[in-house]
Homo-oligomer: A and B are copies of this chain.
């Protein structure tokens, strides 16, 4: 629909206005008609076009009869060279053909278009008809904005969006371009202004900058002096600045703005941002200006997106501690022989906290013109708490966190309890970026532990990887990575869900007993050594594992339903648990031997906690079983001894590492939501 503006003309004196090409001016011809008027006629400059309704002229006079609904629609298709260079006049007649009065209109035509990359191809096209609305999907539209959550400086750094200045030109790369295209006379007619504005709510989420245009060019010294005090990219609108005049440069010109996102979608922010540009008309001395034309554009802030195990690894992160030298060597070996990078967080930074998985989660943000990794810093805040900000935040490496009330934070807030599935399709609904998985208290349990509300709200608000809540509070540590993982596969859905399974564990041990290996020892040669027979005759352990299997089966049913999985998509890994009691009557589970599902997945290479199972023909029966399950998927198992530095502290390989991965080839705005 063509934007239409009501305009009143007068017979007392000429009316002056500015017309924006592409709109219509609508004049109610009765408003200023002298009371005795019966007819009217219209004359105008050749570049002015008009339409009269009702359109038929009087046969005798060749004049238009004036009716109660007589309306004049005015358009122009070329811009003015000087102010008010075009004219239109309406002459009113009574019964006779001499004119009673005349209303004259002086017009200046300009082109104004606020433009964004609404078709998401990385280029700011001109006046996209869909620029003011957001539509998801490959046939959708609407421009994309990044939260400027990286830091251009590495020294004395701060998240860029937390300062309202642009200190480095490189920072402009993290912003979305918005172009004001104008065409018309060298100056707007006197008193007219262009004004950009945003709502108060929007100003919490966006800042807009533009290059400085108004430095005087006539005095070199003055210019140099000014440069010391003037910013190269002043803020136009943003925090505490909802509206500001923007320059009209004259002729056919483009003025580029840089739009900076300040916050991620959240419970109270749907991610959409509207920016307005108006042409203001003077209403006469002492009166405020009124807007006569408004152009709008919309942006959607990129959600924070997690990367599943099936995406290509880039860099592996692990801590160096006093006691994990041999573990570190094994990891280094696995990572480097496969061509990935390794980053070690040293003692001065980790202060003894080895749980690299738990302090942060890697993800990314994406737009048609730019993307970068963004870490979500956990509210866990162990001794590793400075690492994400101090060591990772930097140019094109973003940082976001959510602060919980400290009394709310529990072990479930560690990000071993935050995972993401590979792409799935569930009952015809597709999740090409996968689905986020967190572990919470059993819904029916009173007073269980939970992921803190602010983190849950954040995750759900990202929308593009709709989360699934599993039940992990049955575990002492309480992380989903203690009983599940995903590995790539060549067939079916291109992945398998791995689940810890006490039943599968008992099956291995019974099979050993049945084939005469009952005296073989779990933890061979270690102080914990125990025979297969002894394990199988421990009724308490068996009852505990029955309970654990029930808990995992509950999660299995949820995962099958929410990820659309068949039994054939799931592999049960032989893992036993035992229960320990923090307080009386609150028994929770920990792994009985190193928890093989808590692995690191690097392409087709799996770094698996070495289980120290019973030796059969010189080989660990649990490793044999594990390999026989993984190798048909063309996955290679490397067993890593994490017993002393991780397992005994209730974590394993996955808990002690983290993997930065490449972003998904699927772009989030192509989702059909």
Q: How far is the CB of A188 from chain B (nearest CB, A)?
A: 15
Question: How far apart are the CA atoms of A451 and B148 in the complex, in Å?
Answer: 31
Question: How far apart are the CA atoms of A301 and B5 in the complex, in Å?
Answer: 40
Please tell me if A43 contacts chain B, counting CB pairs below 8 Å: no
Q: Once the chains bind, are B287 and A587 in contact (CB under 8 Å)?
A: yes
Q: How far is the CB of A186 from chain B (nearest CB, A)?
A: 24
Please tell me if A427 contacts chain B, counting CB pairs below 8 Å: yes
Q: Once the chains bind, are B560 and A34 in contact (CB under 8 Å)?
A: no
**Pick from B288, B427, B546: contact of A445, CB under 8 Å:** B288
Q: Once the chains bind, are A288 and B442 in contact (CB under 8 Å)?
A: yes
Q: Once the chains bind, are A567 and B69 in contact (CB under 8 Å)?
A: yes
Which of A279-321 touch B at CB < 8 Å?
A: 280-281, 283-284, 286-291, 294
Please tell me if A85 contacts chain B, counting CB pairs below 8 Å: no
Most chain B C-beta atoms within 10 Å of own C-beta, residue among A242, A287, A289, A567: A287
Please tell me if A547 contacts chain B, counting CB pairs below 8 Å: yes
Q: Once the chains bind, are B442 and A6 in contact (CB under 8 Å)?
A: no
Please tell me if A136 contacts chain B, counting CB pairs below 8 Å: no
Q: Once the chains bind, are A4 and B267 in contact (CB under 8 Å)?
A: no
Q: How far is the CB of A642 from chain B (nearest CB, A)?
A: 28
With A8-B503, A35-B511 already in contact, the answer to whether A290 and B554 are too (CB < 8 A) is yes
Q: How far is the CB of A164 from chain B (nearest CB, A)?
A: 18
Q: How far is the CB of A233 from chain B (nearest CB, A)?
A: 22
Chain B residue nearest in CB terms to A31: B503
Scoring A residues 9 to 36 as 1 if CB is less than 8 Å from chain B, else 0, what string do you get?
Answer: 0100000000000000010101111111
Please tell me if A550 contacts chain B, counting CB pairs below 8 Å: yes
Surface stretch bound by B, among A125-133, A193-201, A414-422: A193-201
Contacts of A137 in B (CB 8 A): none
Q: Once the chains bind, are A474 and B553 in contact (CB under 8 Å)?
A: no
Q: Once the chains bind, are A291 and B444 in contact (CB under 8 Å)?
A: yes
Most chain B C-beta atoms within 10 Å of own C-beta, residue among A197, A199, A443: A443
Please tell me if A493 contacts chain B, counting CB pairs below 8 Å: no
Which of A528-543 touch B at CB < 8 Å?
A: 543
Which of A543-595 touch B at CB < 8 Å?
A: 543-544, 546-547, 549-551, 553-554, 556-557, 560-561, 567-568, 572, 585, 587
Please tell me if A124 contacts chain B, counting CB pairs below 8 Å: no
With A6-B556, A427-B1 already in contact, the answer to whether A283 and B31 are too (CB < 8 A) is no
Please tell me if A598 contacts chain B, counting CB pairs below 8 Å: no
Which of A71-119 touch B at CB < 8 Å?
A: 71
Most chain B C-beta atoms within 10 Å of own C-beta, residue among A242, A280, A427, A585: A242
Please tell me if A243 contacts chain B, counting CB pairs below 8 Å: yes
Chain B residue nearest in CB terms to A30: B507
Q: Once the chains bind, are B278 and A443 in contact (CB under 8 Å)?
A: yes
Scoring A residues 325 to 343 as 1 if CB is less than 8 Å from chain B, else 0, what string do you get?
Answer: 0000000000000000000
Please tell me if A514 contacts chain B, counting CB pairs below 8 Å: yes
Contacts of A284 in B (CB 8 A): 543, 546-547
Question: How far apart are the CA atoms of A197 and B443 in the complex, in Å?
Answer: 7
Contacts of A36 in B (CB 8 A): 514
Contacts of A243 in B (CB 8 A): 443-446
**Pick from B288, B294, B445, B561: contact of A474, CB under 8 Å:** B288
Q: Once the chains bind, are B1 and A567 in contact (CB under 8 Å)?
A: no
Question: How far apart are the CA atoms of A610 and B586 in the complex, in Å?
Answer: 78
Q: Once the chains bind, are A443 and B268 in contact (CB under 8 Å)?
A: no
Most chain B C-beta atoms within 10 Å of own C-beta, residue among A268, A504, A567: A567
With A268-B268, A444-B195, A567-B69 already in contact, the answer to whether A35 and B514 are too (CB < 8 A) is yes
Q: How far is the CB of A450 from chain B (nearest CB, A)?
A: 8
Contacts of A546 in B (CB 8 A): 8, 10, 283-284
With A35-B507, A195-B444 already in contact, the answer to whether A554 and B267 are too (CB < 8 A) is no
Chain B residue nearest in CB terms to A555: B6
Question: How far apart are the CA atoms of A572 and B281 in the complex, in Å?
Answer: 23
Q: How far is the CB of A269 from chain B (nearest CB, A)?
A: 9
With A268-B268, A283-B550, A287-B587 already in contact, the answer to whether A276 and B443 are too (CB < 8 A) is yes
Please tell me if A7 contacts chain B, counting CB pairs below 8 Å: yes
Q: Once the chains bind, are B587 and A549 in contact (CB under 8 Å)?
A: no
Please tell me if A453 contacts chain B, counting CB pairs below 8 Å: yes
Please tell me if A38 contacts chain B, counting CB pairs below 8 Å: no
Q: Once the chains bind, are A443 and B291 in contact (CB under 8 Å)?
A: yes
Which of A424-466 touch B at CB < 8 Å?
A: 427, 442-446, 450, 453
Please tell me if A510 contacts chain B, counting CB pairs below 8 Å: yes
Q: Once the chains bind, are B268 and A510 in contact (CB under 8 Å)?
A: no
Contacts of A278 in B (CB 8 A): 443-444
Question: How far apart are the CA atoms of A289 and B444 in the complex, in Å?
Answer: 9
Q: How far is the CB of A332 from chain B (nearest CB, A)?
A: 37
Contacts of A3 in B (CB 8 A): 561
Chain B residue nearest in CB terms to A279: B444
Chain B residue nearest in CB terms to A444: B195
Question: How far apart are the CA atoms of A293 and B383 in the complex, in Å?
Answer: 41
Q: Once the chains bind, are B35 and A553 in contact (CB under 8 Å)?
A: no
**Pick from B26, B553, B568: contact of A7, CB under 8 Å:** B553
Q: Once the chains bind, are A287 and B69 in contact (CB under 8 Å)?
A: no
With A514-B36, A560-B4 already in contact, the answer to whether A287 and B200 are too (CB < 8 A) is no
Q: Once the chains bind, are A31 and B556 in contact (CB under 8 Å)?
A: no
With A511-B35, A514-B36 already in contact, the answer to whether A290 and B242 are too (CB < 8 A) is no
Q: Once the chains bind, are B31 and A547 in contact (CB under 8 Å)?
A: no
A-B contact pairs, 29 of them (CB 8 A): A4-B560, A4-B561, A6-B556, A26-B567, A28-B503, A28-B567, A31-B501, A31-B507, A31-B572, A33-B507, A34-B510, A35-B510, A36-B514, A197-B443, A200-B450, A200-B453, A242-B446, A243-B443, A243-B445, A278-B443, A283-B547, A283-B550, A286-B587, A290-B442, A290-B547, A290-B550, A291-B443, A291-B554, A294-B443
**Given A243-B446, A287-B544, 9 other A-B residues pairs in contact with their CB atoms under 8 A:** A1-B427, A4-B557, A7-B553, A8-B553, A26-B567, A28-B503, A32-B503, A197-B443, A278-B443
